[in-house]
Amino acid sequence: MYMKHIIIGTAGHIDHGKTTLIKALTGRETDTLREEKERGISINLGFTFFDLPSGKRAGIIDVPGHEKFIKNMLAGISSIDIVILVIAADEGIMPQTREHFEILQLLDVKKGIVVITKSDLVDEEWLSMVKEDIKNEFKGTFLENAPIHSVSSKTGVGLDDLIGDIDKFTEEAEAKDVQGHFRLPVDRVFTISGFGTIVTGTVISGSIKEGEIIEIYPTKLVSKVRGIQVHDQSVKAAEAGQRCAINIANVKVSDVKRGDVISVENLMEPSLMVDCKLYYLKSALKPLENRQRVRLYHGTSEIICRVVILNKDQVEPGEEAYVQLRLEKPLTAQRNDRYVIRSYSPMNTIGGGSIIEPLAKKAKRFDQQYIEELKIKESGKAESILENTIKNLSKEYPRITDILKSLGKNEENIEEKLEKLISENKIVKFDRGDKAIYVHRCFINKKIAEIVNILDKYHKENPLKWGISKEEIKNKVFGKSLNQKTYGQIMDLLVSEKLLLIHGNFISLPDFSITYTKEQKLIREHIIKSFKAGKFSPPKYNELETKEKDTKNFRMVFDSIVDEGILVKVSEDCFFLLEDYRKVKELVINIITNNGSMTLAELRDELNTSRKYAEALAGHFDSIKLTKRLGDKRVLC
């Protein structure tokens, strides 16, 4: 089943109460090392989960605040969706607060909440001053309009409001790339007796299933997934946005390390050179020199490298540049991945940005052609522009002519480029001959999320209904403008990917099933028995309902039997058992075939029922175009 998975990360200065806050929110301790407990500071990454009021479960990464442990902080922060920036009320904004915040910006984190901890230690006037400092500090950044919560992890003051905002933010966070290739940067490796090697990390794209073949990069060791755990529970699969532990087969602990990437076999290629767009922080103390030795942080890896500045003599604080990072160890990355660099010694965060070409060739400085190629790659030309165009047009269900119009030029070999995007699972084609439409996978993922949310709520409120009708889902999620054939193909795709189930005319989530209580089973048996006894003179709904004390339960069970197809609705207050309805239908066809027509009286007499039932049946058969009325007779359509 498709759903949104969220990772929440903490950031902030040492001893500002990040770990204590997480314990107050979740009831769980993230400091696990003996040294952490003794010294009262986080050295390594701490992981736990948070069950939110809405029922969602978010992963939480507690990152260390001490300057000496900032490389561990970088390993955790690179995978988060929402940051909780922690600032102690008694100290306010401190050096690591600023450095952590700069890293968040370099990694393009878009959502955050500011939490002022230890609010019980200061008075209201001091607290107001701290809030004002925070607003001034983060003006013009992604935290400019972020909520600011004053809390006390000790007394619990302010925690409920904070939890409410966290829950709200998890709804607004962007969905992860569940359909892409599986990637997991390794942050921990260990062994468990009887199981073997375990790797942990956050899945940043795609999904993985038990039994699948994986490859460890950059060593290119091939292994198999023996087992998966998410939030300490064994599962069959894990997907983007989830923290998980994977038990891998036939690989020693010494063969895997933090910074390695677990991915699909033969998917990625490690490289000793990557081309990047670099933003050099305003806070940097001096210009960045060509071939300066720095520390690169990407995913969970830390690699020493030299910065070759391609389009400038040197980079001044606050400037951007195209650079080639020449690495001392191979890096496994993909285009558009984010990275951070720190000075070699002393270690200070000095810049970062995005990777433009993860498999770079050795470049000459000031090579204008090479720089122009980087600009094209950065801007997303060729297939990237085509992909982005389809992404923007998807809600209009575009055909090739619509895509070409939007591009504003005649794109050469567009069918070939479209097929390439289809093969990469970036776009989906719904075939209608020369009227085929193309939509982006993100559009499909968004629609899946909408359907899942609607069905999840519906199943909770209607436990005895198979789901929502296909037409209602179409109108609510895709709009009336989508033609039925394409809608049918979309539904077929989602069913084939085991994201939805279809029962006749109803759509449900794949793990949903109707379960009757003991009382409901008795009601169900009574209803069916009554209709069997009534046969062609079946009981009316009101006649049965008045005999029941629990009318709400009765209605739910009755509707469920109708949805299941056991009862067929002939008119507003007239229902027949399916087997009896089929017999009547066959009888009507035989009477008209043999006699040329049929009257109500003939139908009534053949069924040995009353005129009102005969009228209801005849009217129903007219409505479904089995028969049509000519005067006081019926003939076949």
For 7-172, CATH number out of 2.60.40.420, 3.10.20.30, 3.40.50.300, 3.40.720.10 equals: 3.40.50.300
3 state SS of 534: helix
pLDDT score for 567: 94
DSSP calls for 309-339: ESS-SEE-TT-EEEEEEEEEEEE---TT-EE
Do the beta carbons of residue 274 and residue 317 sit within 8 Å? no
pLDDT, tens digit (0-9, with 9 covering 90-100), for 46-90: 677 788 888 887 888 776 544 444 555 455 555 678 899 999 999
Task: Select from 268, 270, 74, 261 the least CA-distant residue to 185.
Answer: 261
Domain 518-636 in this protein, CATH class:
mainly alpha
**In this structure, what token pair is assigned to residue 625?**
């175009």
3 state SS of 565: coil
Domain locations in the chain as residue ranges: 7-172, 183-264, 271-379, 380-515, 518-636
Indicate the pairing of strand 111-117 with strand 148-150. parallel
CA-CA distance, 317 to 330, in Å (whole number)? 28
pLDDT, tens digit (0-9, with 9 covering 90-100), for 218-243: 999 999 999 999 877 899 999 888 88
Task: Select from 174, 166, 146, 155 the least CA-distant residue to 51.
Answer: 166
Instruction: Give the Å distances, CA to CA, from 110 to 173, 188, 478.
Output: 9, 26, 28
CA-CA distance, 87 to 117, in Å (whole number)? 6
Task: Determine the Cα angle at 112 with ends 332 and 70, to 5°.
Answer: 50
pLDDT score for 87: 97
| Neighbouring C-beta atoms of residue 40, cutoff 10 Å | 11
Do the beta carbons of residue 265 and residue 213 sit within 8 Å? yes
Indicate the pairing of strand 221-230 with strand 183-192. unpaired
What does CATH list as the number for 380-515? 1.10.10.10
Q: Residue 114 phi/psi, 5° resolution?
A: -95, 130
pLDDT score for 536: 95
Q: Determine the distance from the C-alpha atom of residue 135 to the mean position of all C-alpha atoms in its chain, rounded to a whole number.
A: 31
Do the beta carbons of residue 296 and residue 303 sit within 8 Å? yes
For 183-264, CATH number out of 2.30.30.20, 3.40.50.970, 2.60.120.10, 2.40.30.10 equals: 2.40.30.10
Annotate 573-599 with b (16+ C-beta within 10 A) or e (fewer): ebbbbeebbeebbebbeebbeeeeebb
Q: Do domains 183-264 and 271-379 have the same CATH topology?
A: yes
Using the 8-state DSSP alphabet, how is residue 205 labeled?
B
CA-CA distance, 230 to 5, in Å (whole number)? 11
| Strand-pair partners of 229 | 234, 245
Q: Residue 271 phi/psi, 5° resolution?
A: -145, 155
3 state SS of 142: coil
CA-CA distance, 12 to 628, in Å (whole number)? 77
Is 0.85 surpassed by the pTM of this model? no
pLDDT score for 310: 98
Residue numbers in the chain where pLDDT is lower than 50: 1-2, 31-44, 65-69, 73, 408-410
- Mutual angle of helices 400-407 and 383-393, in 10-degree steps: 110
Architecture of domain 271-379: Beta Barrel (2.40)
pLDDT score for 52: 87
408-411 long-range Cβ contacts below 8 angstroms, 24+ apart: 411/386
CA-CA distance, 148 to 142, in Å (whole number)? 13
pLDDT score for 31: 41
pLDDT score for 158: 95
Task: Select from 112, 176, 181 the least CA-distant residue to 148.
Answer: 112
Q: Determine the distance from the C-alpha atom of residue 350 to the mean position of all C-alpha atoms in its chain, rounded to a whole number.
A: 32
pLDDT score for 438: 94
CA-CA distance, 135 to 144, in Å (whole number)? 7
